[in-house]
Amino acid sequence: MFETGGVVRGATTADVVRWTSAVAELRPVADDAERIDRIAALERLKAACAAAQAEVTAELVRSQRTAAASAGQDRTRTDRSIAAQVAFARRESPHAGRRHVGLAMALIDEMPGTLTALRDGSIPEWRAVLVARQLGCLTAEARRKAETELAPRLPALGDQAAVAAATTVAYRLDPEAVLDRMRNTVSDRRVSLRPAPDTMVRLSALLPVAGGVAAYAPLLRAADSSHASDGTRTRGQVMADELVARLTGRSNSGCDELGVPDAGAPDVHIGLLMTDRTLLDADAEPAVLNGCGPIPAPLARRLVDAGAGTASPASVWVRRCWTDPSTGSVAVSDRRPRLFPASIRRLVVWRDQRCRTPWCGAPVRDIDHVHPFRAGGSTVQTNAKGLCRSRNLAKDQLGWHAPGRPDGAVVTETPTGHRYVSHPPPPSSEPWRDDLVST
């Protein structure tokens, strides 16, 4: 099926589809030595596929840029459209699509040695990404020089060693370019929140080194002083609790076994979506914590009850969100605030949770009309969808269409005619059944 250093000459897309089926039907192997050989062979195959993807991606970029330039279209909008199409094809987020396009163009135009190593299966795709990222600040000419020096060494280097080698070469060839990148990176400082397994989250801050060290030091000092007198928490736990305490203005006393602060939840808005049965009737139906995802029903009730009986109980407000009894989907939000103040925008954020673009996963930043407003679409909850900022900017590019269907699904059609269907999140509870209703 394959030849050393690449796929069968003259292979077509249909051949690739058949290879996918062939790999899925590989026969079991008899001994561990052959199992290791197969693992290595499949890894080389993955790398060769990544190289082939880079080559065809570069061809797509050139083709669509040429067509867009002939039509007088904006280059930035065109590139955004290309990245979105690549992301759909790879079943990844728009951000990942942009990264892959950037890697493809760098490999094809400026890093032929790295591309060859990838095509031969000598390095994995991620190592090529790391090297391209480290050399990204250089001029095209300097990048070619650096790559010529680095490429022969890459197969023998691990990820961290490859990054260190690329960084060293970049410092030597163009130190000013590296300093310029450092200056630009300062403008990228930010704080982000990402879900983690088991109802945890990762609160991260990308900071200049001086500010980061200055912020970390008092947490370390607090841990050193508290850990000596508090034998119930580790130093890491004390630092985590101290961080929450300093940011929320509440005392640093730890949390219970479910993660709810002992001093009560902070007086801030937390979007917690649950059924009335989960809240009032000890139902097991999971709730949804905005920005985190599903959480167990007992934890949801504990969050609502956080701080009861403490010296500083949390302020809790409830806003009722009604569900359609026939589907169980969130249908309308009560305008009388009693727990979480809401609007159509907030209701859509609660309902969709993540960007409605397939495989995106980014937080909702913009609320858009499913049926466009300019075409007569109504500004109501049933005609709303949550999108990330990147997808919302790309949707109006020439050749893109995203009509809605009566079942709430959105069908995205790309300039190449490919169609991708995005369904709304599943209901937060089971629909009512007539046979279970007492009469």
The per-residue pLDDT for range 126-168, each reduced to its tens digit, is 999 999 999 988 988 999 999 999 999 999 999 999 999 999 9
Residue where a domain stops, chosen among 254, 275, 295: 254
Q: Identify the bridge partners of residue 9 per DSSP, sorted by sequence position.
A: none
Compute the half-sphere exposure of residue 160: CA atoms within 13 Å on the CB side of its CA.
0
Q: What does the pLDDT read at residue 348?
A: 80
If asked whether residues 81 and 220 sit together in one domain, one would say no
Q: Identify whether 388 is part of a domain.
A: no
Q: Identify whether 166 is part of a domain.
A: yes
The per-residue pLDDT for range 25-49, each reduced to its tens digit, is 999 998 999 999 999 999 999 999 9
3-state helix, strand, coil in the chain (%, to 5): 50, 15, 35
Q: What is the mean pLDDT of residues 377-381?
A: 75
C-alpha span between 225 and 230 (Å, rounded)? 9
pLDDT reading at 67 higher than 90: yes
Name the 3-class secondary structure at 438.
Answer: coil
If asked whether residues 75 and 195 sit together in one domain, one would say no
Q: Identify whether 343 is part of a domain.
A: no
Q: What does the pLDDT read at residue 438?
A: 46
The helix or strand, by DSSP H or E, that contains position 223, with its residue range, turns out to be helix 209-229
- Residue 252 has phi, psi (to 5 degrees) of -95, 95
Compute the C-alpha angle 287/330/403, nearest 5°: 125
If asked whether residues 165 and 238 sit together in one domain, one would say no
The per-residue pLDDT for range 250-263, each reduced to its tens digit, is 766 667 666 666 65
Nearest Cα residue to 99 out of 118, 82, 77, 114: 82
If asked whether residues 194 and 157 sit together in one domain, one would say no
If asked whether residues 149 and 75 sit together in one domain, one would say yes
Q: What does the pLDDT read at residue 338?
A: 30
How much is the pTM?
0.66
Q: What does the pLDDT read at residue 335?
A: 43
Q: Identify whether 223 is part of a domain.
A: yes
Please indicate whether residue 121 or residue 227 has the higher confidence score (pLDDT).
121
If asked whether residues 210 and 147 sit together in one domain, one would say no
Q: What does the pLDDT read at residue 344?
A: 76
Q: How confident is the model at residue 69 (pLDDT cuts 50, 70, 90)?
A: very high
E-state strands within 112-222: 190-196, 200-206
Q: Identify whether 274 is part of a domain.
A: no
C-alpha span between 330 and 332 (Å, rounded)? 6
Please indicate whether residue 266 or residue 23 has the higher confidence score (pLDDT).
23
Beta carbons within 10 angstroms of residue 76's beta carbon? 9
If asked whether residues 231 and 217 sit together in one domain, one would say yes
Residue where a domain stops, chosen among 229, 254, 279: 254
pLDDT reading at 313 higher than 80: no
Q: How confident is the model at residue 324 (pLDDT cuts 50, 70, 90)?
A: low
If asked whether residues 172 and 247 sit together in one domain, one would say no
If asked whether residues 229 and 209 sit together in one domain, one would say yes
If asked whether residues 100 and 223 sit together in one domain, one would say no
Q: What is the number of structural domains in the chain?
A: 2
Residues spanned by the domain of 133: 2-185
Q: Identify whether 225 is part of a domain.
A: yes
Highest mean pLDDT among 182-186, 268-272, 305-309, 431-435: 182-186
Please indicate whether residue 346 or residue 117 has the higher confidence score (pLDDT).
117
If asked whether residues 99 and 228 sit together in one domain, one would say no
pLDDT reading at 392 higher than 80: no
Residue where a domain stops, chosen among 185, 204, 221: 185
- Residue 241 has phi, psi (to 5 degrees) of -65, -40
Please indicate whether residue 427 or residue 312 has the higher confidence score (pLDDT).
427
> Cα separations (Å) of 130 from 163, 164, 309?
6, 10, 52
C-alpha span between 416 and 319 (Å, rounded)? 44
C-alpha span between 27 and 214 (Å, rounded)? 57
pLDDT reading at 16 higher than 80: yes
